[in-house]
C-alpha cells in the first residue's frame, strides 16, 4: 500500500475485490474442514447433539468475532509500517519504538523470527490441507474415488508450484471473481439450511459457548484445538495489508467474508442437527449429489487461490527476513513490471513444494493434517498479540489498563487455543514445531555468523581515514573513470580498494565507496535514499555514499546512482562506471564463538547465497571481485 491509495468508492472497490482473491483465500476455505474436524476429534468426543452443536457454533462464531474482527481488523491493521504488515514488519515497527539496547529491543526481533518461522510451517501445511479437503468431496458421491485423493492432490500441487516462476499477475485478475462466487456459494448453502431450521441462530449467543465449556470442560478444551481451524488465515489480513490497504480489507471482511462464513457455519450446524450422520462431512452434504462435483471444482479453485496466498506470503517473509539480516542474500525475480510486490524466489518455492508433497504422502487426509495445523496458527497469534501490545505501549502510549483490557481476553483465548493444540504434539503437532525450529535456527545462526564475520572483516580492512591519508602522501597513479566500491560502512577500508592501491599502485580518478542499509520501513522515499559524505575533503574525489532501501525494495546500485545524478547530488554516469566487490572467502577455524555445527550451517548458507552481481543489479562486464579469506 502506498500513502496515496484512493479510498473513494471507485478506489476501494477494486482493491476490496482483489483482497477477496488473495487476503481471504485461507480463512475462506476453512468451512471445508473446520466443523468436520471438530466432530471427528478423538473418536467423536463432540457429539451431534443440540447442546454440543450450539456450543461449537457459538465457539466458532465468537472466535471469528474476537480474533479476526476485533483483534486483527479493528486493532492490528492500525499497526501500519509504512503501509506494510506481517509479523516481521510488526517486529521491525516495534523495535523502532522501544528503547535501543533495552531488554525489549532484542526480544521483539526474536519474536519476529519465531513468528516468521511458524509462518513457514503454515505455508507448508495450508496447500496440503486445503487442496485435499476440497478433493475429498469426491468421496461423498463416489467413495471408491477416495484412493485417488492423494495422486490428484499431488498433481494439482505440482502444477501450482511449477507455474510460480511465471508470476501471479496472469491469473491474479481471476482470483477476485472466483472468490466472490465462492463466498456467494458459502452464503447460499448456509442460508438455505438456516431458513429450514432457524433455531440454529441460537448458536450466535455466547452463553451456549459458556455452557459447553462449563458442562464439558475437557471435551471443550480438546475441541478448541479444532475450532481454531475456523480462523486460520487471519494473519493474512495483516500480512497482505501492503497490497490492498487496511480500508478495502476491512470493507471486504465486514461486507462479504464475515457474513458468508457466519451463514455457512450456521448452515452446517443446522444440517448436523437435522441429520447427525452428516457430521462426517457437513460442507459437501449441504448440496444435492448432482452438484457435488461442480462444488468440488469450485472448492479446488478456491483452495488453490488460498495456497497461492501463503506461497506468495512466504516469498515476502523471506525477503523481509533477508533485508533485516536473518537470511543470506536471496535470488529474487520480479514477475510483474507493474507490481513490485510480485516476486519469485526459487529456493523458497521448491523447498515448500518438497514439504507439501511429503505431507500429502505421510498424512494422506485433511483430517490427519488438521491435527498438525493448529500449533503454527496459534503460535503466530500469540506472537502477533505480544508484538502489538509492545508496540502499542511504546509508540502509542497505551496505559497498562488499556493494554490489559485488550491483551488479557486475547491472551486467555489464544493460550487456550495453543494449549489445546499442544495435546496434538504426538499426533502430528510436532511438524510445525519442527519446521519452526529448523527455520529459526537457520535465521539466528546466520545473524550470529554475519556479526562475527563483519567484526573480523572490519579488523582486517583497517580504518579508512589513515588509508586515505596514505593515498594523499604516496605517489599512487590515477586512471581515468569512476570506480564504485561496495562496502558495508565508511569506517573501514574496502578490501578491493586496498588491494588495488597496494598491488596495482593505481586508483581511479573518481572513487565512490557505496554502503547500503536496510531500513525498518518497507519503502524509502527517493529524497531520503541518498546520503553523501566527502570524508573530510570534497576535492580529493573519494566520496562515500549511503544508500537506504526499505526491506521490501531491491537494492539496485546503478539505479540509485542514476537517481543521485538526476537529483544533482553526484556527477557520475553509472553506465560507464566500474564496480568493485570485496569478496570474502570464508573458512572454518577453531574459534569457540559458534559451535562447529552452526559454523557448518553458516558456511553452507554463505556458499549458496545469491551472487552480489545479480543481487545489486551490477553489470557483469564492468564488475571486478577482489578479496581475502576470513576464518570463522
Pairing of strands 542-549, 506-518: parallel
pLDDT of residue 4: 39
Query: Could you tell me which residues come within 8 angstroms of residue 409 by beta carbon, excluding any fewer than 6 positions away?
Result: 66
Give the span between the Cα atoms of 298 and 310, in whole angstroms: 19
pLDDT of residue 11: 60
Pairing of strands 333-334, 343-344: antiparallel
Q: What is the pLDDT of residues 480-511, one digit of tens each?
A: 889 999 998 888 888 888 888 888 788 888 99
Map residue 514 onto helix, strand or coil: strand
Q: What is the pLDDT of residues 88-100, one digit of tens each?
A: 888 988 988 888 7
pLDDT band, very low/low/confident/very high, at 8 (cuts 50, 70, 90):
very low
Average pLDDT of span 605-615: 87
Give the span between the Cα atoms of 59 and 206, in whole angstroms: 8
Separation in Å, CA 79 to CA 91, 235, 242, 396, 575:
11, 13, 12, 10, 41
Q: Does domain 14-428 have CATH number 3.30.420.40?
A: no
Degrees (nearest 5) of the Cα angle 102, 104, 110? Answer: 125
pLDDT band, very low/low/confident/very high, at 335 (cuts 50, 70, 90):
low
Q: What is the pLDDT of residues 417-468, one digit of tens each?
A: 999 888 888 777 788 888 889 999 999 999 999 888 888 888 888 888 888 8
Grid cell listed for 592: 569457540
Element (H, E) at 497: helix 495-503
Give the span between the Cα atoms of 332 and 517, in whole angstroms: 18
Average pLDDT of the chain? 85
Q: Which among 121-135, 206-220, 449-463 has the top mean pLDDT?
A: 206-220
pLDDT of residue 49: 92
Domain ranges for the chain: 14-428, 454-631
3-state helix, strand, coil in the chain (%, to 5): 65, 10, 25
Amino acid at each position: 500500500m502506498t500513502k496515496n491509495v484512493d479510498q473513494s468508492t471507485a478506489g476501494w472497490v477494486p482493491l476490496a475485490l482483489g483482497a477477496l482473491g488473495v487476503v481471504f483465500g485461507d480463512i475462506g476455505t476453512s468451512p471445508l474442514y473446520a466443523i468436520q474436524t471438530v466432530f471427528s476429534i478423538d473418536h467423536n468426543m463432540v457429539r451431534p447433539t443440540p447442546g454440543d452443536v450450539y456450543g461449537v457454533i457459538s465457539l466458532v462464531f465468537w472466535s471469528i468475532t474476537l480474533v479476526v474482527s476485533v483483534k486483527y481488523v479493528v486493532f492490528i491493521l492500525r499497526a501500519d509500517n509504512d503501509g506494510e504488515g506481517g509479523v516481521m514488519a510488526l517486529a521491525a515497527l516495534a523495535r523502532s519504538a522501544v528503547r535501543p539496547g533495552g531488554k525489549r529491543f532484542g526480544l521483539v526481533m526474536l519474536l519476529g523470527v519465531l513468528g516468521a518461522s511458524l509462518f513457514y510451517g503454515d505455508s507448508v501445511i495450508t496447500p496440503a490441507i486445503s487442496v485435499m479437503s476440497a478433493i475429498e468431496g469426491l468421496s461423498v458421491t463416489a467413495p471408491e474415488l477416495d484412493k485417488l485423493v492423494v495422486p490428484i492432490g499431488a498433481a494439482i500441487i505440482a502444477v501450482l508450484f511449477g507455474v510460480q516462476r511465471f508470476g501471479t499477475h496472469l491469473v491474479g485478475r481471476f482470483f477476485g471473481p472466483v472468490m466472490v462466487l465462492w463466498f456467494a456459494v458459502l452464503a447460499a448453502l448456509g442460508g438455505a439450511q438456516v431458513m429450514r431450521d432457524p433455531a440454529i441462530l441460537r448458536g450466535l449467543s455466547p452463553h451456549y459457548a459458556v455452557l459447553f465449556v462449563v458442562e464439558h470442560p475437557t471435551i471443550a478444551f480438546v475441541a478448541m484445538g479444532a475450532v481454531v481451524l475456523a480462523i486460520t488465515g487471519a494473519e493474512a489480513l495483516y500480512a497482505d495489508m501492503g497490497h490492498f490497504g487496511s480500508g478495502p480489507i476491512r470493507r471486504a471482511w465486514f461486507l462479504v467474508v464475515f457474513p458468508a462464513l457466519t451463514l455457512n457455519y450456521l448452515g452446517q450446524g443446522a444440517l448436523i442437527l437435522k441429520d447427525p450422520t452428516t457430521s462426517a462431512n457437513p460442507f459437501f452434504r449441504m448440496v444435492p449429489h448432482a452438484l457435488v462435483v461442480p462444488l468440488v471444482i469450485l472448492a479446488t479453485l478456491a483452495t488453490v487461490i488460498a495456497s497461492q496466498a501463503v506461497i506468495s506470503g512466504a516469498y515476502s517473509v523471506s525477503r523481509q527476513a533477508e533485508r533485516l539480516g536473518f537470511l543470506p542474500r536471496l535470488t529474487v525475480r520480479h514477475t510483474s513490471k507493474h507490481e513490485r510486490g510480485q516476486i519469485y524466489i526459487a529456493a523458497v518455492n521448491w523447498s515448500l513444494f518438497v514439504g507439501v508433497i511429503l505431507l500429502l504422502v505421510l498424512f494422506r487426509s485433511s483430517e490427519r493434517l488438521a491435527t498438525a495445523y493448529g500449533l503454527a496458527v496459534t503460535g503466530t497469534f500469540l506472537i502477533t498479540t505480544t508484538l502489538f501490545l509492545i508496540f502499542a505501549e511504546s509508540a502509542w502510549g497505551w496505559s497498562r489498563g488499556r493494554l490489559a483490557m485488550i491483551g488479557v481476553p486475547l491472551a486467555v483465548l489464544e493460550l487456550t487455543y495453543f494449549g489445546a493444540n499442544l495435546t496434538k504434539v504426538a499426533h502430528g503437532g510436532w511438524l510445525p514445531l519442527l519446521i519452526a525450529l529448523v527455520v529459526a535456527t537457520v535465521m539466528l545462526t546466520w545473524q550470529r555468523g554475519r556479526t562475527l564475520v563483519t567484526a573480523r572483516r572490519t579488523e582486517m580492512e583497517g580504518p579508512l581515514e589513515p588509508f586515505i591519508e596514505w593515498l594523499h602522501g604516496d605517489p599512487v597513479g590515477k586512471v581515468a573513470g569512476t570506480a564504485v566500491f561496495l562496502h558495508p560502512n565508511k569506517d573501514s577500508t574496502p578490501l578491493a580498494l586496498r588491494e588495488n592501491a597496494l598491488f596495482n599502485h593505481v586508483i581511479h580518478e573518481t572513487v565512490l565507496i557505496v554502503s547500503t542499509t536496510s531500513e525498518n520501513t518497507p519503502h524509502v522515499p527517493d529524497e531520503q535514499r541518498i546520503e553523501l559524505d566527502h570524508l573530510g575533503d570534497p576535492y580529493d574525489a573519494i566520496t562515500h555514499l549511503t544508500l537506504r532501501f526499505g526491506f521490501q525494495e531491491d537494492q539496485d546500485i546503478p539505479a540509485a546512482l542514476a537517481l543521485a545524478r538526476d537529483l544533482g547530488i553526484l556527477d557520475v554516469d553509472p553506465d560507464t562506471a566500474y564496480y568493485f566487490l570485496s569478496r570474502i572467502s570464508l573458512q572454518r577455524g577453531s574459534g569457540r564463538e559458534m559451535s562447529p555445527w552452526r559454523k557448518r550451517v553458516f558456511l553452507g548458507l554463505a556458499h549458496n547465497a545469491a551472487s552480489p552481481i545479480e543481487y545489486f543489479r551490477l553489470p557483469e562486464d564492468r564488475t571486478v571481485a577482489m578479496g581475502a579469506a576470513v576464518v570463522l
